[in-house]
Structures are given as structure tokens and as C-alpha cells.
Structure 1
């Protein structure tokens, strides 16, 4: 049985071409990407040790080994942050299996006050599981027609993978799906996301499991929406971590003049105040 760390190292090795690391292409290989012996040599570890890490038989590699593998694979900053996190939770899996529990849904009063200051802009408080915990009226105006807000407890992950409307609303649905699947690994703790990953694997199938298991670090570029009333929208996202609560304050900014004008029209039509969902 593998581990999140081993799966990520193996996936990164499989997606890395030898020439990208200055190695000669040795011709046909039994598996895609970089050979295990090449990565082991670059990282200064034995092939047998790398095999143990990838297969989950060594769950506690040293910081030096993890850094050496990150260097050898030319990981960027986001990938290095992810591999450090996976190292932490992989080692923790040796202890008693944690009880799956959902994370807290309460939003602190000071965070809600900050959100109010962003009116009439588009903003929301979310967690890594995709729960939309509080939002501005402009967020309602943009997302109301998408179907995301139809239920009492809107969740971006469930919406992206189980609501057919999401594949039209998100112009780059595959990238959004990658983001939501990746963020489940970044929940406040592994037990916070385990229950949702099990549920999504059952209801969404390979669309979900193939993404959550390959640990692709998303680019988080401009969010492009196909709004039923406003047409094409392009939004830049600024994500501010509320680290103590395992939440994020996400602010959506128009990426072009056409989007700014469309959002302004939608905001003028919006009624009601900030809504906090608990």
C-alpha cells in the first residue's frame, strides 16, 4: 500500500522527462518519465531506498532526503510546500488511524467584519474542502445562476464534480476540478478531508479519484466563467489564509474591463446583505 508522499514522488518522476534535467534520452523505457535509477543518482540515495519511499515502505524519510528529491526533480515553490506537507501526514499515518470528522464551519466575527468591508466586491470565506462559509452579495450575484448556491450548505468540490452545470459554468472546468481535488490534501488535518474524499470517490468516480491521487499542484490562473446572464467573465483571485481556522478569504477581481462592467451590472441587481452559512 502506498502513501501520499510516495504517490507524489512517483507521479512527479513519471511526468519528468530526462532531457528536462539535462540527462540524455536513453531511448525506449518501460515506464514514462524519469527512470528510478536516474532520480536516485541525482538525489544521492540508493535505488532501493527510493523504491521503499515510493511504495510506502519507508514513511519517515529525513528532511535532507526529501529536499534532495525536491532538488533533483526541480520542484517549484508550490510543489516543495506540498511535498513537505505530504511528508508530515505520511509519517503521521503510522499512528492510530484518525477518526474522519468534518472541519469547523464557524467564521469568526472579525473575519466576517473584514468580509463586510469588501462589499460590494466579490468575496467569500471558504475552507479547503470547498465549503462556502460566508460570502458577499456580489458573490451571490455572480454565482446564483450557476447552481452552486441552490442548497443550504454550498460546497465547491461537490458542485464541480457532481453538478453537470459546473462543466459549463467553469470555462476551464478541468483546471477547477484539479484545484478542488488538490485542496483536499491541504485541509486542516487529514481526518478533516478523509470523509469527503471517500464520499466523492463513490459519487464522482474516476473524474475525482484520478485527480486526487496524482497530486498535481494547480496553477490557479484566471478563473473564467460562462455566466448565463453576463456572458464571459474573467476573474483574478487573491487568496488570503485564515490559518488559525483552516479557512481562506478569497477575493475575486475583474481581470479585464468587460468583466468589470458586467460585474458592476450584476452587483446593482443584487439585493440582500452578507450571508453567513453555518
Structure 2
């Protein structure tokens, strides 16, 4: 199980987000916690309060699959959050030490002249990008970190009209990667906790992997764009993700991308 008791932190955070009424409990007296009490969650999950205490405090780090299933059900976790719970209870995922992409991948990026595209790792470091991506935002320059840029770069805050939503997704996606045990990722998270927005979003323990989506941009040169983001895996590189942005054919956003090039 991961170090630093991330499993226990996640359990406590999710327990605190479930109103007693949601699980059929009637309010009784003054409650000291906003969500479920520990003994209430233990009863719903069918485990002993003492055992749940050990899990939350990191004293027991080997819950069985049956316990994990019961906790996921009791905490009303969705599929992504359940996968995260299981990942926290397993060995940390592999993070490779090298930050290069192959020449083949770089040539593919460069061939997409009208499609902003870049490659990132699981720490959200940008490893490679094409000219369209770099023209879309300095956030996508190779060597930049998407988490730092999202929260600390004032220009990025103005680039996204939906910045609050996108920033929350960024924090949730970083948590979904489950790479806190990687020393460089731990350093990144520690350094970012000084930012109040990141600290609040990270402490929410939301888990949402990056998926295809529509994002809006307010570019300082070409104006408003609505682009479809596609997240593609790279064969043989499980810790690399290729991200592309496209405007729907015939739209003003597609025309704006062409001007941007």
C-alpha cells in the first residue's frame, strides 16, 4: 500500500462527505463531524470500528478485496473513485525515470500542423509538443508542468473561461494517476500546497481521470475557441499520454486554429 497513509486520508475525506440522511440514518444530537461517524461507516460496511480505525490511521495496510468492495459501496464511490481506492491498497504504479519521447512520436506531433498536440507523463510534465500546441498556450511548452502552470500562471487563469472547473479536474486527474509515491510527484504536490486554490481542490480527494472532453479557450490573439480534447495512450509507454485539441470542421474554432498556425 502507498506510504504516507494516503489510503486512510482518502477514507476519512470520503466519509466526511456523506450526509447521514443519504444512508438512511436519522440525525441524533449534535454531530462533531460533517459526514458519517467512523462507527456508522463501519456498521454500513460490515467491519468493526476498531478495524476501520486501524485502516484510517494506517496501522493496517492490507485490506482484503471483500473489505475494499464493502467500503466502496458504503462510501457511494463511483467507478473512478473505486478504482482509486483499490490502487491505493496496491503497489504504487511504475513511473519511469526518463522523460524523452521517441523520434517517431515527435514526427507524428509535428505532422499535425492544424492540431495542437503534446505528450505528458503521469506527473503532468510536458515532454514534447508541436508548434500548434505551443502557440495555443505556453502551458504546453516542453519542460512545463501542467499542474504548476494551471494554478500559478496568471495567463493560464485568463486563458480558460472555465478555469475553476478545469483546475479542479487537473487536481482530480493528478490524484487519479496515483503516483504520490514517486519522489518527484511528492515534491510537486508538496510545493503546490502553498497555493490556496490547489490546497482546497487537492484536499477534496476528488478522483477523475483525464478523458475526452470539450474545453473553451480565450486566446489573446485568435479569440474564443471551443476545442475537443482527445487523450490517447502510446503503445509501450503506459506512463505517457498524448493529448490533442481539434475544432469541429467548418466552425469558427477550426478557422481560429488555422490562423493560430
Q: TM-score, normalised by structure 2?
A: 0.82
Q: Would you say 1:253 and 2:246 are equivalent positions?
A: yes
Q: Would you say 1:223 and 2:215 are equivalent positions?
A: yes
How far apart are 1:72 and its partner, in Å? Answer: 1.3
Judging changes above 3 Å, is the alpha-carbon distance between structure 1 residues 59 and 206 closer, same or farther for their aligned structure 2 residues?
A: farther
| CA distance in structure 1 between the aligned counterparts of 2:128 and 2:145, rounded to whole angstroms | 11
Q: What residue is the counterpart of 1:240 in the other structure? A: 232
How far apart are 1:134 and its partner, in Å? Answer: 1.8
How far apart are 1:36 and its partner, in Å? Answer: 1.9
How far apart are 1:44 and its partner, in Å? Answer: 0.6
Residues 14-33 of structure 1 correspond to what in structure 2 (within 5 A)? 14-26=16-28, 28-33=30-35
| CA distance in structure 2 between the aligned counterparts of 1:27 and 1:175, rounded to whole angstroms | 36
Q: Would you say 1:264 and 2:255 are equivalent positions?
A: yes
Deviations 1:85-115 (A, max 9, x none): 21125xx7xxxxxxxx984211123433543
3-state secondary structure, aligned to 1:190: coil
Residues 140-159 of structure 1 correspond to what in structure 2 (within 5 A)? 140-143=134-137, 147-148=138-139, 153-159=143-149
Q: TM-score, normalised by structure 1?
A: 0.77
Question: 1:137–1:267: 8 Å Cα contact kept in structure 2?
Answer: no
Judging changes above 3 Å, is the alpha-carbon distance between structure 1 residues 269 and 200 closer, same or farther for their aligned structure 2 residues?
A: closer
Structure 2 gap ranges (5+): none
Q: What residue is the counterpart of 2:105 in the other structure? A: 111
3-state secondary structure, aligned to 1:126: strand
Residues 92-107 of structure 1 correspond to what in structure 2 (within 5 A)? 103-107=97-101
How far apart are 1:28 and its partner, in Å? Answer: 4.2
3-state secondary structure, aligned to 2:139: coil
For 1:72, which of 61, 71, 74 is the aligned residue?
74
Q: What residue is the counterpart of 1:205 in the other structure? A: 195
Question: 2:117–2:244: 8 Å Cα contact kept in structure 1?
Answer: yes
Q: RMSD of the alignment, in Å?
A: 3.0
| CA distance in structure 1 between the aligned counterparts of 2:202 and 2:233, rounded to whole angstroms | 22
How far apart are 1:27 and its partner, in Å? Answer: 6.1
Judging changes above 3 Å, is the alpha-carbon distance between structure 1 residues 7 and 85 closer, same or farther for their aligned structure 2 residues?
A: same
For 1:196, which of 181, 188, 197 is the aligned residue?
188
Structure 1 gap ranges (5+): 93-100, 271-278
